[in-house]
Structure 1
Amino acid sequence: MIENNKYDVIIIGGSYSGLSAAMSLGRSLRKVLVIDSGLPCNRQTPHSHNFITHDGEKPAVISAKAKTQVDFYDTVKFYKGLAIRAIKTQFGFEIETQSGKIFTSKKILFATGVKDLLSQIPGFAECWGISVLHCPYCHGYEVKREKTAIVANGDMGFEFSKMISNWTKDLRLITNGKSTLTIEQTQILKNHKVEIIEDEIESLEHQNGNVQQIIFKNQTKTTVKAIYFKAPFEQHCLLPESLGCELTEIGLLKVDAFQKTTIPGIFASGDCHIQARSVALAVSSGSFAGAMINKEIIDEEFV
């Protein structure tokens, strides 16, 4: 239940990082509101891995348990909805939701993640997070030594091939058009028996998101168990930019060593500022951000 609309901290984004920050702040006796629209980026992923005590658990189960634990702290409140406007005020910040609710706070934490811009190849979106994978540390063990493809080109394709070869030697690099690998890169991959396929992809044949074959435009096919792909992305929430927060060259929110963005009073945690995306890293950065926000409020009170 939300008693009034004034808070020490508003956290926008209530997934792993936002909940972790909320717990840190709740345990610091801060009055916190978590605003979340309920669309985590890994909602299609069947299992989360490489997060100690939760390895192999369903992502929604982890977040549900986390929310129950955070709800124990009576200074933390939740609002289900979408934040659509944010302004700087004399006393802090004002956030408006899609339903017209307005909340104010001294500080804001954006834990809003990023939006993956998926390929329009038929079958690709349906397989994303299930058998089309972004991270071998999150999912590589489950497809170890299986017939695997990487969809990439140039330097990215070369480096990604090197990495994935740690989990499987049955590997092919699909450049989806003319290869932009250097002669040296091509030779190194061939020496390591990485097949290079320059054919363009027509579609992915799959069963309930589990890829079976890659169909090429020339009507050839290749059978694979998994595909790795580094999807381009954009910020899931545009409010930080509307407030003047700077982005890095690759489109992540720029923060300092204390999780502070370039705008005073605004912090960021989780995937919206971390290039290496995982549940464990999101939780870690959220916990740290909560502590740093609390410290900043304490420092401002002792003047």
Structure 2
Amino acid sequence: MQDVIVIGGSYAGMAAALQLARARRKVVVIDAGQRRNRFASHSHGFLGQDGVDPAIIWAEARRQLLAYPAVRWIEGTASTITGRKDDFRVPTEAGDTFAGRRILLATGVSDQLPEIPGLAERWGGTVFHCPYCHGYELDQGRIGVIASSAMSLHQAQLLPEWGEVTFLTNSALSLDPEQRADLQARGVTIEETPISRLTGAADIELRDGRVLPFAGLFTATRTEPASALAEMAGCTLIETPMGRQIMTGDGKETSVPGIFACGDVARAPHSVSLAVGDGAWAGAQLHRSLVWPE
């Protein structure tokens, strides 16, 4: 019987597991190996690791975590969660089953990208969602914002801090006079011709044949939990401006007693720094729930 089964071995899951390991609690981490930022070559804005390949950050964090003898690491995919608080069972697709007193869902989210030819291939390379993570490296060059939802307006309003912005509405939303005036006051160019495809490094070909060159592109993705485990276990999900996430209380416990959640799947907005902080808090709260069970 493990004290905690952590499902998801990226930044939030490992940060939580580290707190538990340092409290000498038995932890098993089940990781399917699908980090959300696996498409990016560099991680920015994470104190002490600015500009480092996220794969290197992850590998070093895992090495440090596994130095604690109470931690086991399982490469695999959890298939379901059964049982109740103090007596959960988590089988994996490989046929193993793990028992634990608590569950922590740190499964992350998947990004639903606009269906524009050439965009998915450039995701994480020259197409981004977070200006704090990638805006500085564009060196105040031309930035294109591809509209996908109401959140895109927020991006277009914010990104002039990092360069000259063109907001491509792409028939995804209509701007009212007040919104247009606000964007124009910020120096944003509004382009309403639909997009045909992305070409080159970060160029946009419009349906009228024009090609607009950019240093980088931003779009607001819609996020969904990367795993259906939370819904299968009966956890409540909520809708946010960025997409669906698991509902948790201040102590990171979900609507199901004994099941906790942290990281991108349980908070917004998203970044590596915020995921690590959320995971560290969840690990401490999990430990407290074992010390002072209700």
User: Structure 1 pair 205/113, CA: closer, same or farther in 2 (3 Å)?
Assistant: same
Counterpart for residue 3 of structure 1: none
Counterpart for residue 154 of structure 2: 159
Structure 1 residue 218 displacement after superposition: 2.1
Q: Is the 8 A contact 1:9 1:106 kept in 2?
A: yes
Q: Is the 8 A contact 2:117 2:197 kept in 1?
A: yes
Counterpart for residue 270 of structure 2: 277
The DSSP-based 3-state class of the residue aligned with 2:19 is helix
Q: Within the alignment, does 1:193 sit opposite 2:155 as a pair?
A: no
Q: Which moved more, 1:55-64 or 1:155-164?
A: 155-164
Structure 1 residue 166 displacement after superposition: 1.2
How does the TM-score come out when normalised to structure 1? 0.92
Q: Which amino acid aligns with 1:152?
A: A
User: Structure 1 pair 7/99, CA: closer, same or farther in 2 (3 Å)?
Assistant: same
Q: Which amino acid aligns with 2:108?
A: G
Q: Is the 8 A contact 1:28 1:294 kept in 2?
A: yes
Counterpart for residue 288 of structure 1: 281
Counterpart for residue 234 of structure 2: 244
Counterpart for residue 222 of structure 1: 212
Q: Which moved more, 1:182-191 or 1:11-20?
A: 182-191
Structure 1 residue 14 displacement after superposition: 0.2
Counterpart for residue 202 of structure 1: 196
Q: Is the 8 A contact 2:157 2:186 kept in 1?
A: no
1:246-269 CA distances to partner (integer Å, 9 max, x unpaired)? Answer: 111221111111111111101111
Q: Is the 8 A contact 1:35 1:78 kept in 2?
A: yes
User: Structure 1 pair 219/98, CA: closer, same or farther in 2 (3 Å)?
Assistant: same
Q: Is the 8 A contact 2:105 2:261 kept in 1?
A: yes
Counterpart for residue 132 of structure 1: 127
Q: Which amino acid aligns with 2:233?
A: L
Measure the CA separation in 1 of the matches of 2:280 and 2:289: 15
Q: Is the 8 A contact 2:150 2:173 kept in 1?
A: no
Q: Which moved more, 1:177-186 or 1:102-111?
A: 177-186
RMSD: 1.5
After superposition, where does 1:1-303 map in structure 2 within 5 Å? 6-89=1-84, 91-152=86-147, 155-168=150-163, 170-177=164-171, 180-206=174-200, 210-211=201-202, 213-250=203-240, 251-300=244-293
1:184-238 CA distances to partner (integer Å, 9 max, x unpaired)? Answer: 11122223331111111111113xxx32x10112222101111110111211011
Structure 1 residue 113 displacement after superposition: 0.5
Q: Is the 8 A contact 1:149 1:174 kept in 2?
A: yes
Measure the CA separation in 1 of the matches of 2:208 and 2:85: 62
Q: Which moved more, 1:245-254 or 1:170-179?
A: 170-179
Q: Which moved more, 1:45-54 or 1:91-100?
A: 91-100
Q: Which amino acid aligns with 2:169?
A: T
The DSSP-based 3-state class of the residue aligned with 1:165 is helix
User: Structure 1 pair 179/18, CA: closer, same or farther in 2 (3 Å)?
Assistant: closer
Identical aligned pairs, as a percentage? 36
Structure 1 residue 180 displacement after superposition: 0.7
Measure the CA separation in 1 of the matches of 2:85 and 2:62: 32
Q: Which moved more, 1:88-97 or 1:263-272?
A: 88-97
Measure the CA separation in 2 of the matches of 1:53 and 1:154: 34
Measure the CA separation in 2 of the matches of 1:254 and 1:286: 15
User: Structure 1 pair 63/220, CA: closer, same or farther in 2 (3 Å)?
Assistant: same
Measure the CA separation in 2 of the matches of 1:98 and 1:33: 16
Structure 1 residue 17 displacement after superposition: 0.8
Number of corresponding residues:
291
User: Structure 1 pair 59/154, CA: closer, same or farther in 2 (3 Å)?
Assistant: closer
Measure the CA separation in 2 of the matches of 1:266 and 1:279: 22
Structure 1 residue 148 displacement after superposition: 0.5
Structure 1 residue 90 displacement after superposition: 7.1
